[in-house]
């Protein structure tokens, strides 16, 4: 188990550092664009979350969801070791699901102190619950997915989740562009030479 956690941390540090370097220009541009609007609360949101071994940390996130900049802005936390690239959702300090009250064992949905498994690994930038989320999902299912990941995680699963985390928004973007193109064509194709409404 210790060897697996060491390998997971090594992957976080190596891949997280590369991603942070690649994302830095985009994050800088996003921060400048936000600062130009002079938001009253600043360009970053700050919230206390619970990390490895129940230790609290301040999670700083860029105040925009465009181009997934909110998630990319959390990459410094991955490099520092507050977050992992893949893991359970980073819960607020006052959430009863953190299991920080008494640390007793239990299953998802048992309330405060039940989910000690959350303290055994770092919360993640993305995770099994995020890529499997669907509208109408029962309220406790994300917690069950997080627990399943905590109990069965390995590097192969991490890589599969990261691939899905990239593929899903890209597929949605392609579908959106395709839909717009078709809608635009349907509005203008009657002007095209040789167009017939019967076709």
Task: State yes or no: pLDDT of 172 exceeds 90.
Answer: no
Task: State yes or no: pLDDT of 24 exceeds 80.
Answer: yes
Determine the straight-line distance between the first and last CA of the chain, rounded to whole angstroms. Answer: 63
Asked whether 73 and 113 are in contact (CB, 8 A), the reply is: no
Tell me what percent of the residues of the chain surpass a pLDDT of 90.
48
Sequence-separated (6 or more) residues with CB below 8 Å from residue 109: 140, 143, 144
pLDDT at residue 181 in the model? 52
What pLDDT, in 10s, does the model give residues 75-110?
999 999 999 999 999 999 888 877 665 444 444 444
Q: Where are the domains of the chain?
A: 2-191
Q: Residue 15: which pLDDT band, with cuts at 50, 70 and 90? A: very high
Task: State yes or no: pLDDT of 163 exceeds 70.
Answer: yes
Q: Exposed, middle or buried: residue 14 (CB in 10 Å: 0-12, 13-18, 19+)?
A: exposed
Longest dimension (CA), the chain: 75
Q: What share of the chain is helix, strand, coil (3-state, %, to 5)?
A: 55, 10, 35
Q: Which two tokens stand for residue 78?
A: 């991955």
Rounded to an integer, the average pLDDT of 5-12 is 93
Task: State yes or no: pLDDT of 140 exceeds 80.
Answer: no
Question: What would the 3-class secondary structure string for 114-149 be?
Answer: CCHHHHHCCCEEECHHHHHCCCCCCCCHHHHHHHHH
**pTM for this one?**
0.75
Task: State yes or no: pLDDT of 65 exceeds 90.
Answer: no
Average pLDDT value for the chain: 80
Q: Which two tokens stand for residue 56?
A: 């609290």
pLDDT at residue 198 in the model? 43
Task: State yes or no: pLDDT of 170 exceeds 50.
Answer: yes
């Amino acid at each position: 188990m210790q060897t697996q956690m060491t390998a997971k941390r090594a992957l976080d540090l190596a891949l997280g550092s590369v991603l942070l370097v690649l994302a830095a220009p985009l994050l800088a541009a996003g921060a400048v664009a936000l600062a130009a609007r002079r938001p009253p609360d600043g360009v970053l949101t700050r919230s206390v979350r619970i990390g490895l071994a129940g230790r609290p940390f301040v999670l700083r996130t860029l105040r925009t969801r465009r181009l997934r900049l909110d998630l990319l802005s959390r990459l410094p936390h991955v490099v520092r070791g507050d977050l992992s690239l893949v893991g359970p959702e980073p819960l607020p300090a006052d959430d009863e699901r953190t299991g920080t009250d008494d640390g007793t064992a239990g299953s998802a949905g048992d309330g405060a102190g039940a989910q000690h498994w959350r303290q055994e690994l770092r919360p993640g930038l993305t995770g099994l619950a995020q890529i499997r989320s669907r509208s109408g999902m029962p309220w406790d299912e994300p917690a069950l997915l997080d627990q399943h990941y905590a109990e069965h995680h390995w590097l192969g699963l991490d890589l599969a989740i990261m691939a899905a985390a990239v593929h899903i928004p890209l597929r949605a973007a392609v579908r959106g562009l395709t839909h717009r193109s078709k809608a635009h064509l349907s509005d203008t194709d009657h002007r095209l030479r040789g167009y017939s409404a019967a076709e």
